[in-house]
Structure 1
């Protein structure tokens, strides 16, 4: 079997396999070899690194094809320096993509303060607090509360609230999600004041789920009275740099007209001026001088529309030539559902045994295939691959917590000194 190894780390790596064979792969390069279909493989730092008296680091894994799947994460020790993905290129061709194991709880920490947050790739959760109401109201696993989402790399929250007797409670449509807005604020504050989260930022989209004449005022008052208070938030109506909002929440207000807020709409953070319902081809709006490309086509006819859904959702994230002259922010939703043939879990995770041709591959697996391909291609792109944007996911931890690390890695590819705020 032909094995192409794509090294997306900053170190030279050596792959050892059958009968003492070795393959050296330089940083940000690819190399290929012929290997047995099933073999024990060891990956370790290159000799030039080891000679500098750095401890010899090795991880072992097996290459046994992908059994019909388009890609899969490989099992490596938790203390490994790398994350490994095996991608199917052809019937007898596999690609091993090696990523550095970044700390997902603090992945923004090493990025320069001067980078606008529109030039980051921020993974997010659609209907972040929708842990109840399976099959059609639940969008996230109950095993992934906010604290887990933050340490897993989630940085964009989709908070949907309803006024219940003067108190804001998380809802998904008409279905209660049991969590008070005040408790959400406590979780956010706990993370942003922790050792891991103090240099991170959270973008919080807040949406009104039921009619209320005082909803906007309630959001304002609960933020000011909640954990962290006013000082924890960025309310200006522009795209800030990362340095301006470390340890803070950037408000993304999908409600209100400015009444009751200091500076009106100019004091409600990023405020979409246009948001049509389930617009299939996407739409644009502006935030100050930034063009925001958005795709939120969620009401798909059935699970048969999953391939088209993924194509449109990833298409928004693809760079445009105009992005170099006009500031742009792509926002995309990988979430979708419709009754009765497309519940959120069905759409995101698929069903059956698609690797054997018996079932449907879900959105998350297809998004991972796209991300792996784009990351792999970046080693051949001399101008640097620039995938930027904010992306919402249902059941983000599926498959096997493998998708968010791929999205996070986009932040470190295609960077050039003097561009996008990169020093």
Structure 2
């Protein structure tokens, strides 16, 4: 487990497994990683860096830009505040970070939570229309947006899976629906979605209660017999008005209990959403990832096939194109680099 490549940890998992059966590390207000008010900032590093270190659930809050209220430009916010004091952070720029990661790590998928926040009101369906027309349609091959369906890992590889926290008009309903849980819930359950999101910590004295709800939700996820229920566990909470309850302080206080909770369950953890996930050298991310069971027989077979292909490439130059096809279909497209091939080898 310790040698698992954290950048491509999903590559070792079978295509047929549902995302709801995985243990997935995530971040809360993922793009709130810039110089900002300490009550606003939730992460230390960029979305790209988070993905490189194993994060596969990204949480974005969007609003219309105050500079361009008549346009369809969406910016990243945290509540009513910008996530950077120096510049606007556009949804486009964050999506490009995710696209670039998936383009170079096609074995992976990213579950993307999108929600409207901010002072600039939108009508009930405006975010759904803007996101669909301006962001998804131009890049539709990069998204999994089948309404209400939790995809298998094979269906989702190389794509963004939309975790939709906004309403859609009935004429165009898309994405995995995640709009129904009550604010500040300690536990809300349906056949498809189970949420723990106690987010208001009015005083530090409430932090132990929050840690206990996190632990309980981890146990529920690991013992549930429902394969199609997606468990999402927000380990985050804050209080804007009390510096002792700002995101970094709460994350630090909860961390030991979170580590113990993950270590003590034997099944899936579900999606575990965190602030300042890089703490302790990304240790908690690695612990969550390692809860996923790897098919070691498949890994041995894959290594054997790779060695065989490489030997044949050395001995039989004339059949290299055929071997490249085998690499693409049976192993991994990245292996074509090892045999010195490119697209011109397929030209007739």
TM-score range, shorter-chain basis? 0.7 to 0.9
Rounded Cα–Cα distance in structure 1 between residues aligned with 2:259 and 2:122: 39
Q: Which runs of 4+ in 1 moved over 3 A?
A: 319-322
Residue 20 of structure 2: aligned partner: 118
Mark the CA change 1:295 to 1:414 in structure 2 (over 3 Å): closer, same or farther: farther
Contact kept in structure 2, 1:161 and 1:168, CA below 8 Å: yes
SS, match of residue 290 in structure 2: helix
Mark the CA change 1:303 to 1:400 in structure 2 (over 3 Å): closer, same or farther: farther
- What is the deviation of 1:308? 1.6
Which of 239, 253, 258 is 2:169 aligned to? 258
1:347 matched to 2:250? The reply is yes
Residue 199 of structure 2: aligned partner: 298
Residue 209 of structure 1: aligned partner: 117
Question: Mapping of 1:22-421 within 5 angstroms?
Answer: 99-131=1-33, 132-141=35-44, 144-164=45-65, 165=69, 166=71, 167-177=73-83, 178-194=88-104, 197-210=105-118, 211-213=121-123, 214-224=126-136, 229-236=139-146, 237-258=148-169, 264-265=172-173, 268-279=174-185, 281-286=186-191, 290=192, 292-319=193-220, 323-324=224-225, 327-338=228-239, 339-340=241-242, 341-349=244-252, 362-374=253-265, 385-412=266-293
Mark the CA change 1:321 to 1:253 in structure 2 (over 3 Å): closer, same or farther: closer
Rounded Cα–Cα distance in structure 2 between residues aligned with 1:325 and 1:185: 32
SS, match of residue 180 in structure 2: coil
With a CA cutoff of 8 Å and minimum separation of 6, indicate the structure with the bigger relative contact order.
2
- What is the deviation of 1:134? 2.8
Mark the CA change 1:321 to 1:209 in structure 2 (over 3 Å): closer, same or farther: closer
Contact kept in structure 2, 1:297 and 1:333, CA below 8 Å: yes
Mark the CA change 1:172 to 1:269 in structure 2 (over 3 Å): closer, same or farther: same
SS, match of residue 232 in structure 2: strand
Rounded Cα–Cα distance in structure 2 between residues aligned with 1:298 and 1:103: 32
Give the TM-score taking structure 1 as reference length.
Answer: 0.62
5+ long unaligned stretches in structure 2: 299-348
- What is the deviation of 1:218? 1.4
Give the TM-score taking structure 2 as reference length.
Answer: 0.75
Cα RMSD, aligned residues only:
2.3
Contact kept in structure 2, 1:126 and 1:392, CA below 8 Å: yes
* Structure with the higher fraction of residues in helix conformation: 2
- What is the deviation of 1:273? 4.5
Rounded Cα–Cα distance in structure 2 between residues aligned with 1:301 and 1:313: 17
